[in-house]
Every structure is written in C-alpha cells, then in structure tokens.
Chains A and B, each alone.
Chain A
Amino acid sequence: MPVFRGHILVCGGTGCASSGSQEVQKAFHEELEKRNLDKEILVVQTGCHGMCEMGPIVVIYPEGTFYCRVQASDVTEIVQEHLVKGRPVPRLLYTAPEDASKVPFYKDIPFYGKQRRIALKNCGYINPDNIEEYIARGGYEGFGKALTGMTPAQVIDEVKTSGLRGRGGGGFPTGLKWSFAAKSPGPKKYVICNADEGDPGAFMDRSLIEGDPHSIIEGMMLGAYAIGADEGYIYCRAEYPLAIERLKTAIAQAEDFGLMGTDILGTGFNFTLHIKEGAGAFVCGEETALMGSIEGRRGMPMPRPPFPAVHGLWGKPTNINNVETWANVAQIIVNGGAWYASMGTEKSKGTKVFALTGKVKHTGLVEVPMGITLREIIFDIGGGILNDKKFKAVQIGGPSGGCLTEAHLDLPVSYESLTGAGAIMGSGGMVVMDEDNCMVDVAKFFLEFTQRESCGKCVPCREGTKHMLLLLEKITSGRGTMEDLTTLEQLADMVKEMSLCGLGQTAPNPVLTTLRYFRDEYEAHIRDKRCPSHACTALLRYEIDPDKCKRCGLCAKNCPVNCISGSRQEPYRIDQEKCIRCGTCFQKCPFGAIRKS
C-alpha cells in the first residue's frame, strides 16, 4: 500500500458543495498532478464538519490544519505554501471572533471544544464512499460482536442500559421500543429508518447520512438482529439527492463485502435493505404516515394503537427509529451501554446533535452531551449573536417546538427540561433570534409551515391551524383585537389536545410559547398598532427627516412604486398611501435620513 505524507480532506457535504467544494477538490487534484505531488498527497472527500457557514472546509493532515472558505482560486497557494514549503496560509485559517487571532488547528477551534462527537464521530474524518475507511475506524465491529457473541435479548438489554432515547423528537426509550417489536410474534418483521427530515432549519440527519452512511446501516442491522427482522427500509426525502447517492453506494459496498445479504458472517442471519424516497410531505415523518407512504398509499397518519411494533409495515411487526438514533447503536454495542449512560443527565443520556442556525455567528452542526446549557451551545460553541446584537429567543424543536428566552439560557438541555419550558427536543433544530426578530411574525412563520403541511385528515389540525394562522395575519397587519388573543389561545389548546398525530399536537407550540413569554409584543401589535422589532411590514412607516435630507434624490430614483417626491429645492417626502414598505429607500439613503417607525 502506498504511503502518503499528507491527506487533504475536502468537505463534500451539501453545505460545502453548494459553496464550491467540488471545484476545490478538482483544483487540488489538478494542482497536485501538475507539481508531481499526486503520489505523495492524497485528496479525500469527506462528509460534513459541521461548521457549514465557514465552508468549503479543507483540513490538511497530519498537522490537522483547518482552512475555511476555500475557493478553487486558493488551491495553488495552499499547495505551494503549505504542502511544498510547509507554511500554513494564514489568511484562510479560522479567525477567533474574540481577538481576531488565527487558530490553525482543528482541535483548538472553540466550536469543536465543547462538543462530544459520537454519532458524528466519523463525519468529516472518513471518506463516506469507502467502506474500508469505516471498518478501519472500528465500523461493523459492533455488528460482528453482536452477531457472533450476543443473543438478541442481550443486544436489547445493552441498548436499554445505555438509556438511549428516540432522537427524532419523541424521546421514547429505544431499548424498550425494540423489546416490544421483539416480543411480537411472526416470522416476518421490518426495521425502518426515518430520514424524512422536514423541519425548517434542521439538517442533522442529512449530514449524518452524507458523512457516515455505514453507521446508520450498521445500527439498523443490529436492530434487525435484536427484534428478528430480515428486511429494512430507509425512508429518505427525495430533496436529499446526495444522501440517497451515498446510501446506495454504502449498501452496495456492504453487500459486496458480505456484510449484507444471506448467512452473514456464517451465522445464518439474513438482511436486505431498501431505500424509499419520500415525495416531500412533512407529515410522512410521522411513523404511521411514513409506513403508508412506503406501502404506496397516501401519507396520512393512522390512530395508534395498534403501534407499529405490533401492526406495522404491511401489517407486520416493525421497529422505526430516526437516523441519529440508529447512528448511536453500534457504538453502544462496542463500548457498552454503561459507557453511553455515563454521559448526560439522569433521564436523558448520551449526546444530541443540534442544527444551529439563525442569528448566530457560527451556524452549523454540533453534537453536545445532554445537560449542557443553551448558553454554552449558543455563545461558547456558536460564538454568540451575529453582529453582536442582543439575544432574544431560540426556537427549539423546529415548527413543533417552542421559543425560549434569555431566562432559559442556563437551562440544562434534556428531554424533560425542554418540555417543561414549553419547547420540545424535537429532532434538534435550533433557530437563534435577535432583537430584530418579531416574535409574532416568527410564530406566524412556523404556523404557516405546519398549516401548509397538515394532511387534512383530522378537523382540529386542518381547520384549527388555518384559523390560528388567519388570526396571526390579522394581528400582524394591525387589525387584531384583544379578544383575538383569547380566541387564539383557546384554539391553540384545542388543536394541541385533539389532533390525531404529532404534527397537529405540536403545531401550536410556537404560538403558545411566544404568547407565554412575549405577550407584550402581541399586545403592542394590537393596542398600539406597532411592531416593536420593526419586522411586520404592514405596521411599518418609513419617513424622511427633512433636516437630514441632502436632496440627492437617490431614494426617489430607487423607489419601485415612485412614491417619493422632492427636488433640489425642497426635501424629499414619502407618500404613505402609495408606499409598499419595501425598505429600498432606507437601504439606499447614504445619509441615514430615512427613519423606520
């Protein structure tokens, strides 16, 4: 086997790919070949490193030098300076936001300092298209260990000991769930991986599949062995073409290596795995709707019981878990349940992956031990609020979650603590908001999403979310009454209590939590016809300060509806009747003469 003195790891996750990592990789190949270094230095495409906002990310080993926002035009310099002359390229290194110092090495970047990467262990470190790199890092060891030396019951016990709970948001104990499916009689059973990640702002499942597809496959095979299934489905949304591509490659490689198929490792255990592409309905993330969709029916939830463990896919006992849950299983079997249970809080064990987005300096994917505080996630790992504005709220758990405030920043993150505060763990979306975000508008945004995605089967969800949305639209346009607030609360409670599935049961959460923590903002919209954050356009008013106006006419020239008039002699003014509050004049005025109120 040839020795390479250096490895260039280029991130091939969707985030970095969209900012040009494929061109960067190509440029490295060309440059190395040109300089006759292609036999000395290896270029590897990896999965996501998590710090997507700094992408495309390139890490050079053995030093572990971390380069940010690398473009194809930077490649010649990196090869010439770093690889030939041994000098890092300072301008591409990570810059610490506190003191603008350069941080050359991966391991010293604060974004990674507080993380504990278990599910993400291999993401950004191995080539996801190469099963041997996965095996080199201990992959399929857990599967081999279980298959040759553990009974299915022992596997379930180990998962029970670990305290692992459903990472898709439900938080149901995984080992217990497996034991139900294991107890269900029948020769034919299924395991399913729920990769229908639909929450706005969430991308943990996508990154996990793209960066380490074999860990999910290994977890599923362990689950299949534990419950007695021989067939599995990965339900992945079609909007994730790269994830699907990587899964197909991974499955083909596992089959080639004899790790999937019949009589695996000579034990008589058989397993086949299929990919089912979802067509984009959010409700298909609900397990009964998901199974309906695999069976070729319209994706609509069914009342439970019967639970899938008894009556699942095609009426057979089925165990469904989310991508991240499956990704943890193999390491639990290798290292033991007690190892996993040593991390986290009393009832929430292990780690959780969060997708950190919104008004935070370092957006990206982070894996942290349960029990860490929101402040540590947002300020220490995320680097604080963008442009050093004031933190206002964080929406946790996607459209089904809730908004938490500054008062909750020191809350240790666990299933119980988040539910207690009115949010949910959900799949792990975390959208950070600053003082410019109007909380009524935020609630409206998430409700618009759930309302549109409601499948329409049950009345509370179909009609309830629609009328809640109408009320929010009324309030944000300044036509709301105090009575509307009471109606909104009543409706929200009703939808929450009476909906058939998780979509409806959690859809009111953003409204309920913003009403609970930001009621004054709702009241300002209603009583004063004013949006305190200047975000609701219908309540905005742009005015030109005649004293500051230099009569340059830039505002009038750029106004798309020609509602600004004036001349060299007299200050410009805005015709409020015609103004559409687009904000163009506000952005264009070089003298700050235009006021928002």
Chain B
Amino acid sequence: MTNKIRTLDDLRRIREASTDLTSARSKGRASIIVGMGTCGIAAGAREVMSAALRELEKRNIHDVSLTATGCIGMCEKEPLVDVIVPGMGRITYGLVTPEDMAAIVAEHVVNGHVVERLVIGRAD
C-alpha cells in the first residue's frame, strides 16, 4: 500500500496531504458566497456555483470557503456573488456568468485583484 509510514517524514507528508480532508470544516482564508435565492437560481446561480467549485478544484485550493446564501434583494443583477478576502473588504459582483466566476477565482481570490468590470457594490 502506498501510504505505508516508514519514517517521521512519511507521517508529516500524509498529514500535509490530509489537511484538505477537514479544511472545509473551518472558515477558510477567503470566502465566496453565491446568492442562491429563487431569483439567483433562475438566473443561473447553480452553474456559477459549479464553476466556482471546478475552478477551486482545478487550482487545488482547499482553504477557501464556498457557501450559498439567500436573496439579498437586487434580483435583476442575479446571479450575485460576494467575495471576502481579508483586507479587501466585501466585494459584490453582479450578473456573473460561469466564465466570470472562473475569472473571479483566478484574479480576486488567487491574485488579489478585484475584477472591476463586474463590481456592483462594496462594503467593509
């Protein structure tokens, strides 16, 4: 079996590889929140959520929390996505497509640059 632990380093390697198993049980270093009210879902939030997951998986990112939230009242701008990166406030993106979502993960979450063309609101 591949996981045979023969040295202390083996143990630490398995620990490193296993942290991802439980990392979803903590808040994570950043959060992506997708509006999944009836309006959001009708506008395609489900696909946006899947796109976010695929992008995180592709980049092997396990310490970002991805959650759903209800309608926040700006239904015509759905799908709405909030991204919180510590030090950058809470950025709300509107009319997000699955392709936009991939860009948001790459630009905002990974590189720390807000995707200005999609921003519809900011809060601290």
Interface residues of A (CB under 8 A from B): 1-7, 9, 40, 42, 61-64, 82-87, 125-126, 130, 132-133, 135-138, 140-141, 144-145, 147-148, 256-259, 265-266
Contact = CB atoms under 8 A, between A and B. Distances in A.
B11 A135 contact: yes
B109 to A, nearest CB: 13
B57 interface: yes
A189 B26 CA distance: 42
A256 B1 contact: yes
Contacts of B62: 1, 3
Contacts of A86: 33-37, 67-70
Contacts of B35: 86
19 contacts: A3-B53, A3-B62, A4-B24, A42-B24, A62-B24, A62-B31, A62-B66, A64-B25, A86-B33, A86-B68, A87-B70, A132-B17, A132-B18, A135-B18, A141-B11, A144-B8, A258-B5, A259-B5, A265-B8
A266 B7 CA distance: 6
A63 B67 contact: yes
Chain B residues touching A, range: 35 or more
B68 A133 contact: no
Contacts of A257: 3-5, 14
B57 A2 contact: yes
B68 A84 contact: yes
Interface of B: 1, 3-8, 10-12, 14-15, 17-22, 24-28, 31, 33-38, 41, 49-50, 52-53, 56-57, 60-62, 65-70
A508 B15 CA distance: 50
A62 B53 contact: no
Given A1-B20, A62-B26, 13 more contacts: A2-B57, A5-B65, A85-B41, A86-B67, A86-B70, A125-B22, A125-B25, A130-B21, A132-B18, A141-B11, A147-B8, A256-B3, A256-B4
Given A144-B8, A256-B1, A5 B49 contact: yes
Contacts of A259: 5, 11
Chain A CB count within 10 A is highest, among B21, B37, B49, B65, for B21
Chain B CB count within 10 A is highest, among A42, A82, A135, A141, for A135
Contacts of B41: 84-85
Contacts of A62: 24-28, 31, 65-67
A279 B115 CA distance: 67
Nearest to A6: B24
Contacts of B17: 1, 132
A124 B56 CA distance: 27
A265 B21 CA distance: 24
Nearest to B54: A3
